[in-house]
Chain A
Amino acid sequence: MDLLDDRKRQVVTAGEVRAVVCDRPSVAGSVTQRACSFCGSRVVLYPIADALHLVHGPVGCAAYTWDIRGAQSSGPQLHRLSFNTDVREEEVIFGGEKKLARALRELVVIHKPKGAFVYATCLTGVIGDDVDAVCRMATAELGIPIIPVQSEGFKGTKKDGYSAACRALDQLIGTGPTEGIGPYSVNILGDFNIAGEIWTIKGYLERMGVEVVATLTGDGRVDTIRRAHGVKLNIVQCAGSMTSVAKLMKEKYGIPYVQVSFFGLEDCADALYQIAKHFGDPEMMRRTKEIVRTETEAVLPELARIRKDLEGKKAALYVGGAFKAFSLVKALRQIGMQVAMAGTQTGGPADYEHLKELCDADTILADDSNPLEMASWLALRDVDLFIGGVKERPVAFKLGIGFCDHNHERKIGLAGFEGCAAFAREVHATVTSPVWSLVPRRAGRGLA
């Protein structure tokens, strides 16, 4: 298909020497799949379940982020309500600070939360509300930490919103007691407990003899985050969203971190080994090897069965951050699938270079793609599977292609060893579904 000249530099095939141009704003007028800073901040902080999340801005920003991410909590569910100042014309003229202060007072009466995050939006940013000042006053008056999040949408993409969320978390970390935290202690950063995934990971760590102090932010709690600085190691899973918190904690508290992924057998085993290696306890390493062995053995036969059906089939993926793309390319290879296209919303230059190494020479790599491009590539390469999020799903289905949600709306945990099997099962079910033989474009090809 014809790409805008301006876009061409953001698309390469993996075998090309040319680098993917990325880390730039979307061209105005494109049907970009990207979102804004507010969205980034909101998805990162939202899973903290006993905090109150107040959106200071128009109703839309609150309505669209009300319980859209299946970030599960084992206890409180306060994060699943939608709190909003519903800024109206009057505040646009006279300022919204008073309304924000009133809203904070009103909500503390009703919900008595452990803490609150106040999200700035485009609107309150452009009318110049001093959200910081209101939060400071409210913290003093109401006796709970009320933390401003500088998440004005126009400040950038989701990635910039992640940074704003990290700065907000930084205000909370280090404010609680660290007594009783053991030598083999970690925080898990960058897992949001979609479909309960953090519980799977926590299970492995506990079996290794590792103490998980805080989970940021999946199944998160205000009090554990306040004492997160007491650990000996940070485990960073979603690198794009949480590395800056890990870096901050390294600078401030001298806590080292490892970047890992729990998606795919290879990456998951590697993650556990890295953690065991860090603590240097031979007994822990022995237990870890045992876990990797038993867990891998438990899923390998099924993966092999599935692989037989999927061998040689083609996949395309379009995800938010690059780390997930790396894991997915490897996980797909494990079940015999080739990656025909891989794209991300917010990958950086080094990420795309790494993707080139991982992918086949003819794999299309695209930064900040749009549905028109993607639909043409999916048809051109005749792929059997598309992996993406809510906006990509119907495009795949219209083309008669299998789809796997690896974003907010996935309903089955895909992390960990058992997650690999779940992923393989889900991919197998959709790729080999008889429904695609009903779609005219693919009719008559027979079932997979």
Chain B
Amino acid sequence: MLDMTPATVSERSALKINPAKTCQPVGAVYAALGVHGCLPHSHGSQGCCAYHRSHLTRHFKEPVMASTSSFTEGSSVFGGMANLTQAFGTIFEMYDPDIVAVHTTCLSEVIGDDIPTIISKAREEGKIPEGKLVVHCNTPSFVGSHVTGFSAMVKGFVKYLSENTGTRTTAVNILPGWVEPSDMTELKRIVAIFGLPAIMLPDTSSVLDAPATGEHAFFPKGGTTLPELKAMGDARATLSLGSWASLDAATLLETKCGVPFQELDLPIGLAATDRFIQSLKALAGVDVPVQIEDERGRLVDVISDMHQYLSGRKVAIYGDPDHVIALTEFCRDMDMLPVHVLTGSVGNAFETRIHAILADSVPNANVKAQGDLFLLHQWIKNEPVDLLLGTTYGKFIGRAEDIPLVRVGWPILDRVGHSYFPTVGYLGSLRLAAEIISAIQERQDRDAPDHAFELVL
């Protein structure tokens, strides 16, 4: 009944069905939540803010705080300056954050509100108390996707707050990209094993995976601190993980503060984690610690033990470009066949990169940026797969076609665990590999006739 997708692909130039992305502002909210004492502020109608908070809450099962300019019809005619100015007053009186991170919406962008001017006027008028900070980024929802919104906010923090004081420190900036709190914790653990002091931006660990204490912390204890944000400008290097989410901020840290950067993929899977580890090794000037080598060895061990279940399995991968690129490479390295690869986000670079990864193993793969899940479903109807790898939104396809789904990426609205157990690094990749293998084996058990249903797999 839920299968309403015809196999024949018809021309669509205007209609999107079942999107594989959402709009920029929610990314700005997620990034801002990763700064300590920061209140994300949505400059637009209050529905935007309500939707972003609800959606993030559905994914993290955590309270998500953000304020809104609560635009009315009047603001849409006369501009939102009065709303934003009043908002600063309300925010600092009522919620007392250290920093407010303003992002725009389609409405305030079309009206043409000039946020920096409004901020400086509000400061002149005393609406922003001494010692309190306000940063902003532009996130019109008719440009980019939630991923570029995330990128814009991270860049916004660097633009406003990072400073080069002239003294280089030994710290390394880690821009983790749009990953889970669990991934950020894992990245910090790995970097610490190399003995490298690191600053991570944003850092949603201990914010969106906060423990139950019986209290509601409006500003949870985690997040990049303001001194850290400032000190990023003095760091010796930046590791940009995931180009869609991190490269803009990394580039700005170089041009503004002279901090050189390395562009890396999200360290998901063996090869991408190897590259990440090589960068850390070079920065730290040490051999790869035994602990890390062992973790790598365990991942290789599991993939080897189970390769017969993975070999030749067709997989459809969809979601955000940074995730999809890393996942495609990982699946290829495990001898799986990513025959359909799709993102809702923009970027020809995505298609080029995926084709390059699959050039030898799946040269005829269906690859598309700015696609939607309706198209992915049509592809699958024409060439079935053994596994779906992506967000919760794929569950409709999974049900219609009876294909198992391993959930990875954002959002995951119907399962728990993603914010606590990482998918980055060798151990995170091991967890993901185990989930993939389990899904395949579950299916094998389910489909096996009695005579072939075995105790040992």
Chain A contact residues, CB within 8 Å of chain B: 3-4, 6-7, 25-39, 54, 57-66, 68, 77-78, 80-89, 91-92, 99-100, 102-103, 106-107, 109-111, 121-123, 125-127, 152-157, 371-372, 375, 379, 390-391, 393-395, 397-400, 438-443
Contacts and interface: CB of A to CB of B under 8 A. Distances in A.
B75 interface: yes
B268 interface: no
Given A28-B83, A126-B76, A64 B214 contact: no
A29 B94 contact: yes
A98 B53 CA distance: 33
Interface stretch (B41-49, B305-313, B357-365): B41-49
Contacts of B142: 58, 87-89, 91-92, 123
B86 interface: yes
B106 A394 contact: no
Given A29-B90, A58-B141, A107-B15, A123 B67 contact: no
B69 interface: yes
B68 interface: yes
B19 A86 contact: yes
Q: How large is the interface on B (under 10, 10 to 19, 20 to 34, 35 or more residues)?
A: 35 or more
Contacts of B46: 26, 32, 34-36, 153, 157
Contacts of B75: 154
B382 to A, nearest CB: 16
Contacts of B111: 126
Interface in B205-233: 210, 212-218
B22 A60 contact: yes
A36 B48 contact: yes
Nearest to B55: A64
B44 A122 contact: yes
Interface string B50-82: 111111011001111111111111011000001
Given A88-B143, A102-B14, A107-B15, A30 B67 contact: yes
A109 B51 CA distance: 31
B153 to A, nearest CB: 15
A126 B77 CA distance: 8
B16 A36 contact: no
B409 interface: no
B70 A26 contact: yes
A298 B420 CA distance: 44
Contacts of A7: 94
A106 B51 contact: no
B417 to A, nearest CB: 16
A287 B261 CA distance: 78
A58 B95 contact: no
A362 B310 CA distance: 64
B2 interface: yes
Given A29-B90, A88-B142, 10 more contacts: A4-B93, A6-B90, A28-B82, A29-B68, A30-B67, A54-B15, A122-B107, A154-B75, A371-B63, A390-B54
Interface in B337-367: 344
Nearest to A27: B90
